[in-house]
Homo-oligomer: A and B are copies of this chain.
Amino acid sequence: MTINVTTLPSGLRIVTHSMREMETVSLGIWIGAGARNETKAEHGISHLLEHMAFKGTTRRTALAIAEEIESAGGDLNAATSVEYTSYQARLLAQDSGLALDILADILTQSTFEPAELEREKGVIIQEIGEALDTPDDVIFDIFNDAAYPDQPIGRPILGTPETVSSFDAQALRHYLQRNYTKGCAVVAAAGALDHQRIVDETAARFDSLPATSTALPPATYRGGDVSMKRKLEQTHVVIGFESASYNDPTTYAAHVFSNVVGGGMSSRLFQEVREKRGLAYTIYSFQWGYADTGLFGFYAAASAKDVPELTSVALDCMVQTALSLTNEELLRAKAQAKVSLLTALESPAARADQIARQMLAFGRLVSREEMVERIDALALEEVRAAGLAALRTTPTVAVVGDVKKAPRSQDVARRLAGV
């Protein structure tokens, strides 16, 4: 396995991981901007831009984009998140030049034809409807909004039917010009590839992307309550707290804490809530790092009548982990983290995503050895402290379904007082 990084004269970085025995390559361009970079009036425009990238350029119609890549047997995917937007192709190694040509074309020469734009807004309004119909999607949207109210980091990535309907080509260009900059972009590839060939094929292709970009707006975690009354079989609950950003020295401790709380079958949440009490089928914890903030919490779906007991047991699990994490649990979480790192290395698509995000987040690659070293070095006290730090922030409580017996943020805070 060989990893290479090249910075072009334009400032665009190229990072590749050549994996022998693979016959396909996963490659793309990652932009260090997403929903978080939107102004209030731009809510949803990052995601609309990602859709519109496939809707025609000065050189290719939307149909030609789809046909060229699929005629080579490949596929194109794109994703918009809070801090990143990615455009990724998977295809035979011999066709990497085609993929890069299409990626450069859609990022620098999109035409945003009015008729295409209107139709795509309609498609996104359907996508918003789908998310609203999916309880375990919509609950995270309202949870984020309650954690970071009135801030782009907390707003749903898809936007609202109203904001999406309001955008024109000018607004898309304005957002693109501000955020899709060479310094905030990384071309990454993993699988069957030759680094120099990828560098040559990238060459001057993205040169017309702008050079400078504006800073990320800071985020302020607040917490509080949000609920959505729905007639459902289950009540869906997310309770969370502010935790480590990925730039924080405690980020590894925060991840291990979350894994012990609710990462696997042997985790405390799984054992106490599902195995001992049979209260839920799905229950897990999460730790998401952003550039300057982070969120830790758990999600569960249960019968409305069981939500009070489930909440109480889950909060106890969190507190007990922070107070009495055992060495055995720590060793288990470390072993799981290390095998997960290996597994991520084995898939070209996941690996390209990993190295691209590392370059954008840290300006360098973080080797598996370094990650393993940091995980191995974690002491019990550090992991407990990371948990305690989160549990001492204001709780964010989101509920979807029958909300009558739903927990409230202040009840959660009261229960955690003194921890």
Residues of B within 8 A of A346 (CB): 22-24, 191, 347-348
A271 → chain B closest CB, angstroms: 7
Residues of chain A whose beta carbon lies under 8 Å from any beta carbon of chain B: 1, 19-24, 54, 62-63, 65-67, 69-76, 90-92, 118-124, 126-130, 132-136, 191, 231-234, 264-266, 270-271, 274-282, 301-303, 328, 331-332, 335-340, 342-343, 345-348
Residues of B within 8 A of A65 (CB): 265
Bound: A23/B265 CA distance, A: 23
Q: Which of B132, B277, B280, B335 contacts A233 (CB 8 A)?
A: B132
Interface pair B1/A90, CB less than 8 Å apart: no
Beta-carbon nearest neighbor of A65 in chain B:
B265
Known: A63-B275, A132-B233. A71 touches B301 (CB 8 A): no
Bound: A129/B75 CA distance, A: 35
Q: Which 6 A-B pairs have the closest CB atoms?
A: A73-B339, A73-B335, A129-B233, A119-B278, A122-B278, A66-B265
Give me 7 A-to-B residue pairs in the complex whose CB atoms sit less than 8 angstroms apart, sorted by A's number.
A20-B21, A65-B265, A123-B278, A126-B281, A130-B234, A133-B233, A133-B234
Interface pair A332/B70, CB less than 8 Å apart: yes
Find the residue from A66, A124, A132, A265 having the highest chain B CB count within 10 A. A265
Interface pair A275/B232, CB less than 8 Å apart: no
Residues of B within 8 A of A303 (CB): 126, 129
Interface pair B336/A130, CB less than 8 Å apart: no
Beta-carbon nearest neighbor of A275 in chain B:
B62
Interface pair B92/A339, CB less than 8 Å apart: yes
Beta-carbon nearest neighbor of A280 in chain B:
B126
Given A20-B21, A75-B336, 18 other A-B contacts at CB below 8 A?
A: A23-B342, A70-B264, A70-B266, A70-B335, A71-B335, A92-B339, A92-B342, A122-B278, A126-B301, A129-B232, A129-B301, A129-B303, A130-B301, A133-B135, A133-B301, A134-B135, A346-B348, A347-B347
Known: A70-B336, A301-B130. A75 touches B232 (CB 8 A): no
Residues of B within 8 A of A54 (CB): 265
Bound: A135/B131 CA distance, A: 11
Interface pair A130/B271, CB less than 8 Å apart: no
A227 → chain B closest CB, angstroms: 16
Interface pair B76/A265, CB less than 8 Å apart: yes
Interface pair B123/A274, CB less than 8 Å apart: yes
Residues of B within 8 A of A118 (CB): 278
Beta-carbon nearest neighbor of A273 in chain B:
B123
A254 → chain B closest CB, angstroms: 19
Interface pair A271/B24, CB less than 8 Å apart: no
Find the residue from A19, A129, A136, A279 having the highest chain B CB count within 10 A. A129
